[in-house]
Every structure is written in C-alpha cells, then in structure tokens.
A and B are shown apart, each in its own frame.
Chain A
Amino acid sequence: MTALTELSLAAARDGLRRKAFSARELAAAHVKAVEAARPLNAYLAETPERALAMADASDRRIGRGEALPLEGIPLAIKDLFCTEGVATTAGSRILGGFVPPYESTVTANLWRAGAVMLGKVNMDEFAMGSANVTSAYGAVESPWRRRGENRPLVPGGSSGGSAAAVAARAAIAATGTDTGGSIRQPASFCGIVGLKPTYGRCSRWGVVAFASSLDQAGPMTRTVRDAAIMLGAMAGHDPKDSTSAPVPVPDFEPAVERPVKGLRIGIPREYRLDGMPAEIEALWRQGVSWLEAQGATAVEIGLPLTKYALPAYYIIAPAEASSNLARYDGVRFGLRVPCDSIDGMYEQTRAAGFGAEVRRRILIGTYVLSAGYFDAYYLKAQRVRTLIARDFDAAFRSCDAILTPTAPSAAFAIGEKMNDPVAMYLNDVFTVPSSLAGLPAISVPAGLSEDGLPLGLQVIGRAFDEEGMLSVAAALERAAGFAAMPAFLAGSAA
C-alpha cells in the first residue's frame, strides 16, 4: 500500500470512505510527517492533539455513514487565517502572542466539511514577499534541490510554508492566500497545484488583510482534482464580507473530467518577455501543443496593458496595506513596546514589530496616498486597473481560457535576489494582471527546468468560471504527467 502521506486528497477521501484506513491513521501519519518536516521551517504551530481529536470525530461520522466532503483530510493552514484558540502571527512579530477568539470563515467552512487541522504554516510577513524570506519566524526552505546541488532554495511566497508542506508530503493540502501571485508562484516553485479563485469566491472574513481588493484564499494541492474538491469546501457567500460574491458554489470536481475539445485557448503575446529563460518559453509552447492535441485551439490574444500591471499593483497593494496595517499599534493586541507618549509607543512598537519588507510597503503605500501624490499614483493606478480588467474582458470574447507561464523562472536560492526588491517583484509579472482583474487563475506543475526544478503553467479563467479553468488545468496535468519528487520527503519518514 502507498504511504498514507503519498495519497492525493481524492484518494485519501475514497480510502477513508472505503474504510481502507481510518482518519486517525491518516492524521497520525501526517502528524509524524509534520514533525519530520521541521528542517523546512514550514510549520509555525503544530496542532497534533487537535488533529487527532478531529480525526476521531471524522472516524465516528464515517462509522455512522455521515462522511462530509473533506472528511478526515489533514490540512496545513497558512498563518494568515485566524484560527480560534491557535496563535495566528501572519508571519510577523507584531502579532506575537495573538490568539484569535474567532475562526476565519474559510477555515470554519473546511472544518465544517470534516477536514483535520495539522497546524499553521509559515509565510512571508503579512503575505508580502515572493520567496518566504520575510517571515519574522525565519525563511522556509523548499523541499526541492537543483540537480547535483544542495543549496537551500526558496519555496516561493508568500504561501511558501503551504507549498513546502504540501510538496514535502507534510500535509495533503493547504490553504493559501493570493494577492498578486502568492498561491500560484510558490505552487510553481514547489511543483504543486495552486488555485486563486475569482475575487469574492472565498470570504476574506478572519483572514489577516494585506490588500483587501486583491486578497483571495485558495487551495494548494498536489492535483487539479484535489484543488477542485477543496475549493468547493472553502468557497461560498459570506454576509460578514461585503465583497464576497452572492453566487452559488457548483460542484467543481466534475469539471476536471470535462474535455477541452473545441475550447479556444488565448495566448497573450505581451507575456513573451525579453530575457525570459528559453526553458520557460519552451514549456509554454509545450503547454499549447498539449491542449491542441486534446482538441483545443490556440488563439493569439492581446493584453496590451500588461506592462503596466506590475507598477499599478505595487501602488494599489501597498496603499491598501498601509491602511490595513495601521491597526497594529500596540494598543489592543499583539506586541507593545511601552513608551511615555502615545506617538512614541506607536513608533517603537511598529519599528520593532514590522520587518523591512513590510516597512517598505507601508512607506510606499503612505506615500502614494499622500496629499499631492494621490492623483498621480493611486488614482492613475486604479484607472490602469480598470483598463486591465477591460483588456481581459475583450480577450475573453475570442478565447475561453488563457494560458501563460506562472513565473518567469524556477525557484532561486535563499539569499539570491534579496537585495533587489524590484527583481523580487518581477516574480509576480505573470500572476499580477489576473489579480488586478479579479479573475480565477491556477498554476499546474508542467515540467522541470534544466537543473531539475519544477515549472508551472498558469491558466486564467473568466470571472466565476473556475470550472472552465479547471478543465483546462486538468488537461495540462494529464498531458504533463508530472511525477517528479522533491529531494526532501517528510512523508517518507512516516
């Protein structure tokens, strides 16, 4: 029998229902794997007792024949989701000691669907980063290594702990959040599937905010089917989030079986960047042929404003962040550095509590919203955003889904690109436009770089057409047959 930690979510679900193993056995194997994964620094908090107790409850429901959709599935939760009674840090010192008295809607939905919580996973501080090196609790190491090399690599970010845990078999799946690529880019770096739903598909209530108009929770899994199953459990209208969409949640799973024959796949010419590694370009072309081989048609499309997406994003996201992070002031929760004046307390608390990248973005955001700069930066960026969304609308008149690379490179080493924020920001060049447009997008592992690291392809769908997007993603997955394994497997220790 396959090790329990090797199972996909769908296989584990089916095995539990068949009673091939118990939820407790599945949870116990994963609890061990979580311990074995400690060298990766993926988990910030391990909750083994909670995992086993939840698994026992799952076994009782399975015994009664009342299995829920995610019954007994052990999950890692990004530490941006507030979890009742379990410390939630957002990867920041400033939330040190904060234990939420409430459960985020998305995680509550998952537990209501029978899922089991393994613990909270590391991330870039306040989800700001593309390498998971900005966490106040240390960088996360990717379980992958370049062929013939042992330099620790970044797992991508900001959902780096989620990606590393899922890739290393220290969780069957994980929640992530994506603001400009924070689910898709680490999924690409770690050789897993990462799905960012349409903005409004998943509630943001109880998720520590980075940039409210962009933040979306989504699943990070090892297969497209698993992402479809997990998304169904996470999604849904939430009256507590005014930006959550009052749309019905379909059963996403059947979409992965839907043929792509006859679909028009948009290939945006503006995504061919100067200096893009040849292997990325080649993989992209390979993806097109895989889909054509299954009966889809490739159409060239234009997304002319693509080059303005990154600059607009790096105005809008920091602007919102500068305001969203004002609440971390040492007055009511988290870190407080005492001082004899209130301004002094703010300054010292925030200086001690926020890392360099967060401080940088707060400063950028404060600047672009300042009197005299607002029109030139924030307002113009919002106009660009509207036009980018219109570009996509126009493109979707001639295609049904869009195929692009997920990231412009494979994972890089910890320490690389660290002193050049702009080079770091370029990681998001393919993921940011769909974020600005609020569209669903998914990264699927499609191949390996020359030095043996995973590369992902991204499928962007129409708003609330996750099903169409999933069908294309599944077609890529079938054709790619990605079976490479990371160098470090926590699960194999179990």
Chain B
Amino acid sequence: MSLLEGRTGSWEVVIGIETHAHVISKAKLFSGAATNFGAEPNSQVSTVDAAFPGMLPVLNRFCVEQAVRTGLGLEAEINLVSVFDRKNYFYADLPPGYQISQYTRPIVGKGRVHIVLADGTARDIGITRLHLEQDAGKSLHDQHPTQTYVDLNRAGVGLMEIVSEPDMRSAEEAGAYVRKLRSILRTLGTCDGNMEEGSLRCDCNVSVRRPGEALGTRCEIKNLNSVRFAMQAIDYEARRQIALIENGGKVAQQTMLFDSARGITRPMRSKEQDYDYRYFPDPDLLPLVLQREWVEQLRAALPELPDARQARFMAEYGLGAPESALLAGESASADYFEAVAKGRDGRLAANWVTGDLAGELNRRGVAIEDTPIAAEALGELLDLIADGTLSGRLAKDVFAAMAETGLGARHIVAERGLQQVTDAGAIERAVDLVLAREAEKVTEYRAGREKLFGFFVGQVMKETTGKANPALVNAILRKRLTS
C-alpha cells in the first residue's frame, strides 16, 4: 500500500476519476454536423446544434456502437435499455440550455481496467459506468475587450463519460489507469486519446484518510488535460488536504482547478458549481433499446485488447510479465514492439525497445509516436546483430548514430566502417601483438591470476578499435593462453 507521510503519521490517498472521451465519429451525437478538430469557428454547426426552434435530436447509431464497443473493452455490463436525460443549465456555449446526457440509466454499467505499476504490481480498477453525452461549444473570452465569442463546432460532439470507482491509492496508480484506459480506447478506435486537443479530459476526485478509516471528504479537480498534470494535481491536492487536516482544518467538498504553471490546485468560484441541473428524461428521445445479438456481434468483432496482447507477448515472444505489460500498455509502443519483433528475437527486441529506445525517448522528452528511430530501422539494427555484423557494443554506437542522424543502421555501418571483425586471422594477429607486448601479465595469468583474462580481451578490442567479434576474441585468447 502506498501511503503519504504527514507530520502526524501516514495517510492513504483515495482517487476516483471521471474521464470525458470524445467519441470517434464523423458526425455529432445527435446531428449530422462534422466533428473535425481545428476547423474554422462555427463551420461545423447544424440548426440542431445551435438549438434553433423546433429542431430535434436524432441519435447517431455509430456513436452508440462506439460506446458499446468501449464498454465491452472495459469488460463491462452493457445495458440493453438506457435513457437520455436533460441536464439543464444556462451557458452561452450550451445552445439549448441543457446537455443531453444519461443520468439514471447509462448505456454501460460496471466494468474494470487492469493496471500494472512500474514495480510490476498489478491491480484492477473498477469502472462504475460509462454514459453517452454531448459536449458543449467553446466560449472565447480573449477575442474582444468586452464581449465573449462562441464557437459551436464542438457543441453536440459525442462524449463518453467513463467513471471509475474510488479504487486508486496514488498518483502513480491514477496515471497508470488513465494511460491504460487511453490505450484501450485507442486500440478500439473509439477515442483518439489526444489529451492536448481535449479529446480526452479527466476530472480527479481526491480525498485522504488514515489507513483503515472511512472515506474522507473529497475535492474534484476538473479538466486535467495530461497524465502528467493529473498526477501532479493529485499529489498536490492530497498534500494540501493532509496539511489542512493536520493543522486542525477540515476539507470542504469543492471543485478545484489545476494551475499547471504553478503546479497547484485552487477552488473554482462557487458560482461555477452551484447548479441544480434539474435532470429529467429527454422527451424528444425514446429510451435506447439494444438487441443482445447486435452487442454480441460487436463483441465478436473487437480487436485484440491490451491485456490479451500482453499475454500473447509473453507466450509468443517469451517476454516476462513486467516488460510485456510495459510494451502492451500503450498501443503505440505495442505496435512499435511488434514491428521490431516480428520474425526476430522477441526478447532482444523487447530489451532494445524498453532499454535504449525508451532511454532515448525519455532523454528527448517525446512519446513513442514521435520516435526518431523508426521500428523498421531498429529492426535492421537487430538483423545486423543477428548476422554477426555488429557486436552488442558496436550496435549501441550505431543506435546512437541512428538517433542522431535519423539514418538507417546499414547506412551508418557502411559509412563509418563499423563492421565487426570476424576474420580469425586479423584477430589472431591482434592477440599475438597484445600477448607479446604484455608478456609479464601473460606469466602472471599462467601462474593463476585468471582475472587478467578480461584485461587481455580489452586490449585486443582496443587494438581492433572495438570491431572484433567478442566470441572469436575469447576463443582465440583462450587457445593461445592455454597452449
């Protein structure tokens, strides 16, 4: 159990996350308008989205399919009957004065997400529900000194709100949950998961308690748009609450915003949260009734999900649990790994992807989608190792050059003359040279100082500027020294 230490003892952090995921669909949830990101303001708005008089919503069947597929991917119950409700509130970017959502009867019920932490610990995070709802438009407050502009392109875009149980106990678990959820969504093709574009946003509910005690009062941190910010915000908020309680204060249930520039959470103005939403069933829409056979057809057609992929990585490529979890956790890294590993030594591929490549990406601060070394290029490097052209040591040099130049492995090997020397004659000559030069040490070795063997290997490698095949060097040295 991961605990935070306060001044007066240990505290347990309890986290539940609500995720808003834009449904991948060409049209909006209840209108035929397009949903492309970054289009000209108000260029993707129908009279339904703008809530003109007499306009009526018509449910987009594809969005329903996407929600059901997501529910299946979360191993969740699919509710064959669900109901759309109106959530009423006034805002300029909410044209009808209500958001169509699902309140009491969501389309998806209880499910779970399996997470694996860096130390290999695995847990299931419960999913409470998933429901479909509309996104609002965007208010632009910085376009005019006294007026607000409204862009309705996003108004009516389908969202899946995915609510977790309060099952997470650390920022790390929360981060792993969001990453895993994103990976499932991306694998299913139901949400692109681009948090910086707002396609995926998180609200984190955070409370603290003494281990074993009842749940504390929670605060909700709204609209976190990166995994890193979510983790930072949770950490800050948990420590804020602990300090507050330890100083004799009480946590007030409130909605917080995360100031990413300062790394702190602060309360929203109370006006922004004191709504009575007056939920009631939308009389423009009939209850949504799904056929079980249709759901089963969707289930049968699901792609391989991250957990299944991890299991396959272990079976097919002989990987261990932690590294397979690491690789399968994100579809981009899993795809990358598979492209490298296909037809090659899987464990070697995994070592390179989780080791050198991950290090390089980390150093650059980029995601695997923006890797400077394409999977094909890394595969080529592995081929050169396999056919003996490169030693492991040389391969690392070639890798560094690939990262630096973006060129292919063969190209670099050829250009820099980095091929391994496998010519036994050349190695024998180098060995003889070294042994002749270090005659004193040869005598010591033969007298029993066997540790010196490594020294000789090093000298031979130096003599061949590192290009000698290490296995051959070993074999020839051993033969010469024992003869």
List residues of chain A with CB under 8 Å of any chain B CB: 81-82, 88, 90, 95, 98, 100-102, 104, 204-209, 211-213, 239-243, 319-320, 322-323, 326-327, 329, 331-333, 340, 342-343, 346, 366, 369-371, 374, 378
Contacts and interface: CB of A to CB of B under 8 A. Distances in A.
23 contacts: A82-B54, A100-B52, A100-B53, A101-B52, A204-B54, A206-B54, A206-B55, A209-B284, A242-B285, A320-B280, A323-B86, A326-B98, A327-B95, A329-B90, A331-B92, A332-B50, A340-B146, A342-B92, A342-B148, A346-B90, A369-B88, A369-B279, A374-B278
Interface string B55-97: 1111100000000000000000000000000101011100111
Contacts of A205: 54-56
B276 A211 contact: no
B47 interface: yes
Contacts of B279: 369, 374
A326 B276 contact: no
Given A323-B88, A323-B98, A326-B88, A88 B280 contact: no
A88 B55 CA distance: 14
Interface string B202-228: 000000000000000000000000000
B51 A243 contact: no
A241 B56 contact: yes
Contacts of A212: 283-284
B472 interface: no
Contacts of B98: 323, 326
DSSP class of B's interface residues: helix, strand, loop or mixed?
loop
Nearest to A244: B56
Given A327-B97, A333-B52, A242 B280 contact: no
Interface in B139-160: 146, 148, 150
Interface string B131-175: 000000000000000101010000000000000000000000000
B95 A88 contact: no
A242 B92 contact: no
Most chain B CB within 10 A, of A90, A212, A239, A340, is at A212
B280 A369 contact: yes
A378 to B, nearest CB: 6
Given A327-B96, A369-B88, A242 B56 contact: yes
A374 B280 contact: yes
B52 A323 contact: no
A319 B280 contact: yes
Contact of B280 (A81, A102, A378): A378
A243 B286 contact: yes
Contacts of A98: 53
B278 A370 contact: yes
A157 to B, nearest CB: 19
B52 A326 contact: no
Contacts, number: 100
Contacts of B150: 331
B283 A327 contact: no
A310 B148 CA distance: 44
A343 B284 CA distance: 27
A243 B284 contact: yes
Given A102-B52, A331-B95, A342-B92, 17 more contacts: A81-B54, A95-B53, A212-B284, A239-B58, A240-B56, A242-B286, A243-B284, A320-B283, A322-B278, A327-B95, A327-B96, A329-B97, A342-B91, A370-B278, A371-B276, A374-B279, A374-B280
Nearest to B88: A323
Contacts of B53: 82, 88, 90, 95, 98, 100, 208-209, 327, 333
A244 to B, nearest CB: 9
Contact of B51 (A101, A242, A327, A366): A327
Contacts of B47: 101-102
Chain B contact-residue range equals 20 to 34
A300 to B, nearest CB: 34
Contact of B58 (A240, A329, A333): A240
A102 B97 CA distance: 21
Contacts of A369: 88, 278-280
A368 to B, nearest CB: 9
Contacts of A81: 54
Most chain A CB within 10 A, of B96, B97, B276, is at B97
Nearest to A104: B54
A21 B55 CA distance: 39
B142 to A, nearest CB: 16
Interface in B335-380: none
A239 B60 CA distance: 12
Contacts of B146: 340
Most chain B CB within 10 A, of A208, A323, A342, is at A323
A240 B86 CA distance: 19
Contacts of B96: 326-327
A366 B56 contact: no
Nearest to A241: B56
Contacts of A371: 276, 278
Contacts of A213: 283
Contacts of A90: 53
Interface string B250-291: 000000000000000000000000001011100111100000
B56 A370 contact: no
A386 B286 CA distance: 15
B269 to A, nearest CB: 13
A131 B278 CA distance: 31
List the 7 shortest-distance A-B pairs measured between CB atoms, nearest first: A326-B97, A213-B283, A369-B278, A212-B283, A327-B51, A206-B54, A208-B53
Most chain B CB within 10 A, of A95, A327, A369, is at A327
A278 to B, nearest CB: 39
Contacts of B97: 323, 326-327, 329
A247 B341 CA distance: 58
Contacts of A319: 280
A452 to B, nearest CB: 39
Contacts of A208: 53-54
Nearest to B98: A323
Nearest to B271: A343
A342 B52 CA distance: 19
A346 B91 CA distance: 9
B52 to A, nearest CB: 7
B373 to A, nearest CB: 51
A369 to B, nearest CB: 4
B429 to A, nearest CB: 86
A329 B91 CA distance: 9
Contacts of B59: 242
